[in-house]
Amino acid sequence: MAEESNPNGEPRTLAPLGRRAARVTANRSVGAYRLIEALDLGGPIDPRPGQFYMLATAAGWGAGEDERPYLPRAFSFARVRAESGRPELGFLVEAIGPGTARLAALEVGEDLLLTGPLGVGFSAPAGGGALLVGGGIGVAPILAWHDALGDAAPVLLGFRSSPHAGAAALFAGAPLVATDDGSTGRRALVTELLRERLDDSRPGALPIVYACGPPPMLEAVRAICSERDVRAELALEAGMACGYGACFGCVVPTRAGYLRLCVDGPVLDAAALETAVAPGAGH
């Protein structure tokens, strides 16, 4: 697990100042997603799971629909591996707009422009251990956290259907999988798996829940954990322009007022939130 290298004690690894180029080493399909891997020669080897990078391509950024994309796109890293002592980062991408479409089309040898790692990652579990919950493309930081914690941490994953559930194959061990249509694993919402799991836990051995996924899923996780006095950390999503606190564009409402998700998150303690469904989230 990455050491906490931030002087403020936040679970955050500092980013080099400025955008840099990473060389794409692989782009393969993982179910309905692409897994883009890139060798980040200028970046730290120990980004904290839950942290993210702002991504753009060196060529053809701005050449898509409506002359977009213009701004970089925020992605939590899904894995980090040491290649001769240098970090090889993996990002899970689904082409849903001009930015993600361009990223998904990256070819081996191309330059991926990135800034990061950014934001605050997951904090270390204590006592009862960790329970990991991922939904859809939100399985990305859950995968990185699972790699860091080791295979012992149980993983619950939810997907729309079988093609998306292909991402479960990236996990070591045997994650429990649910799909909306039952085409892979159980026909259920992943939050139903979570509820069952928590209700089966001994009262003195409740885990910390770490979750990332679409806003309605995170809201259900927040409510389920809140009802049971289970601590939860949620990796949220918001549209971002900069990723490092400059633009104030990515705020989410919390009990303490608006927080910038890019510097105060993207991982937030669920207790800080009245709801995980924020306006504009997931667009």
Partner 1 sequence: MTATVELCGQKLEGPVLNGSGTFDAIAALRTFGDALLDEFPFHAYVSKTITMAPRAGNPPPRLWETPAGLINSIGLPNKGLEGFLDEDLPRLGRLPVPLIVSVMGFSVDELGALAAAAGHRDEVAMVELNVSCPNVETGLVIGADAAETGRAVERCRGLTPKPLVVKLTPTAADPAAIAAAAEGAGADAVSLVNTLRGMALHPRTGEPWLGGGSGGLSGPAIRAIALEQVHSVAAALSIPVIGMGGVQTGTHAADLMRAGAACVAVGTESFRDPAAGRRVAAELTALQPLSGPVPAASGA
Chain residues in the site for partner 1 (CB under 8 A): 6-8, 10, 12, 14-19, 56, 62, 66-72, 115, 118, 238-242, 244-253, 257-258, 260, 263, 278-280, 283
Q: How far is the CB of 215 from partner 1 (least distance, A)?
A: 12
From the list 25, 9, 4, 134, the residue with the least C-alpha distance to 87 is: 25
Q: Which residue, 155 or 268, is less far from partner 1 as judged by CB?
A: 268
Q: How far is the CB of 247 from partner 1 (least distance, A)?
A: 6
How does strand 20-30 pair with strand 111-118? antiparallel
Q: How far is the CB of 94 from partner 1 (least distance, A)?
A: 18
Ramachandran angles phi, psi of 35, nearest 5°: -105, 110
List the beta bridge partners of residue 38.
Answer: 24, 89
Q: How far is the CB of 74 from partner 1 (least distance, A)?
A: 12
d(CA 116, CA 106): 19
Q: Which residue, 99 or 134, is less far from partner 1 as judged by CB?
A: 99
* Burial class, 282, CB count within 10 angstroms (exposed 0-12 / middle 13-18 / buried 19+): middle
Q: How far is the CB of 67 from partner 1 (least distance, A)?
A: 4
Q: How far is the CB of 181 from partner 1 (least distance, A)?
A: 23
Q: Which residues of 73-95 are buried (b: 16+ CB within 10 A; e: fewer)?
A: bbbbbbbbeeeeeebbbbbbbbe
Asked if 171 contacts 154 with a C-beta cutoff of 8 angstroms, the reply is no
Q: Which residue, 109 or 279, is less far from partner 1 as judged by CB?
A: 279
* Burial class, 227, CB count within 10 angstroms (exposed 0-12 / middle 13-18 / buried 19+): exposed
Residues shown for the chain:
283
Q: Which residue, 221 or 262, is less far from partner 1 as judged by CB?
A: 262
Q: Which residue, 76 or 184, is less far from partner 1 as judged by CB?
A: 76
Q: How far is the CB of 7 from partner 1 (least distance, A)?
A: 7
Q: What is the largest CA-CA distance in the chain?
A: 56
Q: Which residue, 118 or 208, is less far from partner 1 as judged by CB?
A: 118
Asked if 200 contacts 185 with a C-beta cutoff of 8 angstroms, the reply is no
Cα 29 to the center of its chain, rounded Å: 18
